[in-house]
Structure 1
Amino acid sequence: MGERKVTVAAEVGLHARPAATFVQRAKQAPMDITVEKAHGGGPVNGKSILAIMALDVRQGETVVISAEGDGSEEILDELAAIASTP
């Protein structure tokens, strides 16, 4: 299983537009994708806007994005870039 630890850079955290962009890209992937806060809480479905927003990830917090399967490294790189974009 591949994973990326990413510090969220957007002023609004992983909410609203950044969350929507993240989920849109995640939904295009054929594999399951999970997201969790690096310091507590369990993983949530990375393809669910409600689950992502319920994590309440704020600017400066670190998340772990995980995926497994063919092409997962490329998807993880793209999702990490979305999460780390200010």
Structure 2
Amino acid sequence: MAERQATIASSSGLHARPAKLFVQAVQAQSVPVTIALDGGPDLNAGSILSLMGLGASHGTVVTLKAEGDGADEALAQLVQLLETDLDAQ
């Protein structure tokens, strides 16, 4: 299982537009991806409700996990997305 940490760069955190863009990117991956706050349960990263329920704000560190062929590449793309201020685009 591949695992990576990312720091949320968007000023509004994982809410509204950044969450929507992230969910779309997760759903485009060929492997299932989970997201969790430190010590929290692994949640489906492809679910907008799961992301909104996380309450991840700017500067929050999250852990992404994926398993299967292409997991490392998928996580690299998703980490890059989370570490970009999606509110500024």
Greater Cα offset, 24-33 or 64-73: 24-33
- Contact 1:14 1:57 survives alignment (8 Å): yes
Q: TM-score, normalised by structure 2?
A: 0.90
Identify the residue that residue 26 of structure 1 maps to in structure 2: 26
Q: TM-score, normalised by structure 1?
A: 0.93
Runs of 4+ in 1 over 3 A off after TM superposition: none
Identify the residue that residue 59 of structure 2 maps to in structure 1: 60
Superposition RMSD in Å:
0.9
Write out aligned runs for 1:38-49 (5 A). 38=38, 40-49=39-48
Matches of 1:43 and 1:33 in 2, distance apart?
A: 9
User: Structure 1, unaligned stretches of length 5 or more?
Assistant: none
Matches of 2:80 and 2:19 in 1, distance apart?
A: 12
User: Structure 2, unaligned stretches of length 5 or more?
Assistant: none
Query: Share of identical aligned residues, percent?
Result: 41
